[in-house]
Chains A and B, each alone.
Chain A
């Protein structure tokens, strides 16, 4: 997505300097300490940094705690159905490639009920940012197991603990043909979160970002050790991905991973010894569906001319 593209449909004056507060809307109603809050702040900071016009920006979400997100951003918002944010966003971009589209999903939204769309949106590679806010649990419906819930972790639907190995969304996304940007970051690392969102926005194509986050009510304990012990984190750094040098003081496991290397990316995604954050894979040369499908539009008169020619073929 380009930072200052003008709407083709309406000329706008460009003299207004947007600040973070220009992107604020309703007061968030998330629980105190919810990871969603830091994602919201990072997103608003990004919008201001990129000077995106609120009227040309659309946040599309599904259903779940994180999907309240659009209500808290001053832009166009589409708070739709559980699991179905990606098809709506795809429709918006197919019709209006000029809009900046951000998709906000939870782990249940994206990897469970909407899993088919996740796979196919990755393959369509439509230019948009997809944020998968992964707190490893269903929060809004009050603590049910999600596909990313760690095996053995107790919930209201699986009180003896989750029966299945957790789904690895990074590994899965990397397995999809035509994936073009796959990254992971964590809500408790705001500088890294921001840098990753920015890289995702600046990437031309479908930028999938899994954001690890704590649900203070239901999964507050899940990343407790990781938050306290920086040694559990490994930062994937590269000029073509993200680099956050100011964090090196805290996190000294830095892996100079080249995001062009899909094999290395898959290997890293598979490992469970540490939590890896950064851009696993990025390739801007992958075809983008909305560009592949783009055809020049015609005026009404031209259309009537063409339609009449078509009708001639069926004339009696």
Chain B
């Protein structure tokens, strides 16, 4: 065991107990487990995150997923893992760097080092079986990597994971993760009963024997740590006053969909959206709904539209490439005013892009993707709780306004686990069964209220409501429009609905003072990181506030007025933009962040932006640097 210099962080206090075990007390800590793909690091981290939440810590987890199921072993690019940031208070993002990292080989650990993911004084627990491996090349790789890591200020602890696990299982590849969980449970003094409960939940579809083996490995890790480690970390817990639940964003979307009364989801497998349907598949079995895995993305849109047309609002689940394929069908639903909810769990793009990584690059496509004028609603939850509640709002808006609602989340929310107040389920969220009473004579299928553009839809089975819905331009009677004025009027009616929806929205709330030098505007999953950075910068005396936009189409009201109270407005986003100063880039040809683009067009305010597409969530520390660099020069506002 190598022990480097003790941890010295201003945020931590430490003390040494009688038995020589150093206890590091910290109000928040970040842990990573990294391995080759298929070694279960994520399962270990998910359990650790969930139990920490259950013990009363604020938690945020982020999964590190290579694109392949089984990339080459011991390769930095194949590093698979999970980061868990947890603290005494609420945690809203993945933070900056990791304090404790458990690695199943030195190559994946090195990958994290190279990516600057490790705190300068991080404690690294690394499997040491590679040191004496029979393959000479591997032994050499170990030496090189460990030399490199030792040159930094890390405290490196070698752990004989393989050797230990072999006492319980024949194939430690399938067991090290629970041993690692045991290590972490000892280090962070977790409740072992809770750990066993979580293991039981995680392996609920497996045999009792599998559970027993995993618990043995857990206990083994715990006792090895007890005998061999000389430090523990205390992140005080305090139970929330209200009941909480803990899950990831995709699970929250599934729960929200059920709570919103939706009974049919049609989808086609696509990363990182698919796990919404896994959750639904389990839940719908008891609720009586259907997850239809269609033959392709287009059919998934078609089936959900057919279902919506004939009754309750249905939904489809996808990610960028799938959204592109569904484009024509979304245009049809908008044109024919069939309510529909679309979940787009964004990933890196364009094309196949970065399937497992976070990006916010679908915004413009989500709003303007359909050829022709196709006004519809686009909203973006920013938290795990937001994923749940947005489904209820989305279903209600889709139905009330007879339109398509796209809910944009991203890979960060998809696998991010966070506790949130347990929703108190309301029957009203589920909506009512469609009205199937006879349609009064003379009532027309698109009887647009000229003021609002709203009309009542007729559902098959309703006597007297027979009409043929068509994607061709049509009039109030759903008859094909041969006169040009009809199309102008119908377009106006469909567009007006968005203005009406906007009139019901409240102006967004500024985080921090509602005037100042700089306003940072974000949308979606960046909320936590942006707000943490802005609060830290305010603590340093900068007049900076932030704003997270939830409705992107229609945009929330009052933005221009808010923007005018700041000397400078900029967006921070996870999509591509040209940096000023890049070759050939001028103020006129600069391609800006997607939200910045929208805000400039809608407010005529000179909104600046800073965006990155690094395939990882934004770190608050990086945003702090951005804020410092973008503070307007000169005196205060």
Contact = CB atoms under 8 A, between A and B. Distances in A.
B306 A79 contact: no
B255 A311 contact: yes
Interface in B297-314: 298-312, 314
A307 B289 CA distance: 13
A288 to B, nearest CB: 14
Interface string B238-276: 001001111100010001001101011010000000000
B371 to A, nearest CB: 13
Query: Nearest 5 A-B pairs (CB), nearest first?
Result: A91-B306, A87-B302, A77-B468, A316-B244, A91-B303
11 contacts: A9-B436, A70-B468, A71-B468, A77-B466, A78-B309, A81-B471, A86-B299, A90-B302, A91-B264, A92-B310, A120-B299
Contacts of B284: 295
B295 A91 contact: no
Given A91-B309, A91-B310, A295-B289, A84 B329 contact: yes
Contacts of A316: 53-54, 56, 240, 243-246, 419
Nearest to B59: A316
Main secondary structure of the interface of B (DSSP, over half): mixed
A301 interface: yes
A73 B294 CA distance: 29
A77 B469 contact: yes
Interface residues of B, number: 76
Interface in A60-91: 60, 63, 70-71, 73-81, 84, 86-91
A96 B258 contact: no
A56 interface: yes
Contacts of A304: 425, 427
A42 interface: no
| Chain A CB within 10 A, most for which of B246, B423, B437, B468 | B468
B309 A94 contact: no
Interface of B: 53-54, 56, 201, 240, 243-247, 251, 255, 258-259, 261, 263-264, 266, 283-290, 292, 294-296, 298-312, 314, 328-329, 332, 419, 422-423, 425, 427, 430, 433-434, 436-438, 458, 460-472, 479-480
Given A88-B306, A91-B306, A307 B464 contact: no
A88 B303 contact: yes
Main secondary structure of the interface of A (DSSP, over half): mixed
A79 B305 CA distance: 13
Contacts of B469: 77-79
A141 to B, nearest CB: 15
Contacts of A234: none
Given A79-B471, A81-B471, A311-B245, A99 B302 contact: no
Given A306-B286, A315-B422, A116 B472 contact: no
A50 B300 CA distance: 32
A9 B303 contact: no
Contacts of B463: 10, 12, 53, 55
Interface residues of A, number: 61
A95 interface: yes
Nearest to A315: B245
B462 A79 contact: no
Given A91-B292, A98-B461, 15 more contacts: A55-B462, A76-B465, A76-B467, A81-B332, A87-B299, A87-B303, A90-B306, A91-B308, A91-B309, A92-B309, A117-B295, A117-B299, A293-B292, A316-B56, A316-B244
Contacts of B259: 307
| Chain A CB within 10 A, most for which of B56, B261, B332 | B332
Nearest to A117: B299
Contacts of B296: 116
B460 A56 contact: yes
Contacts of A313: 201
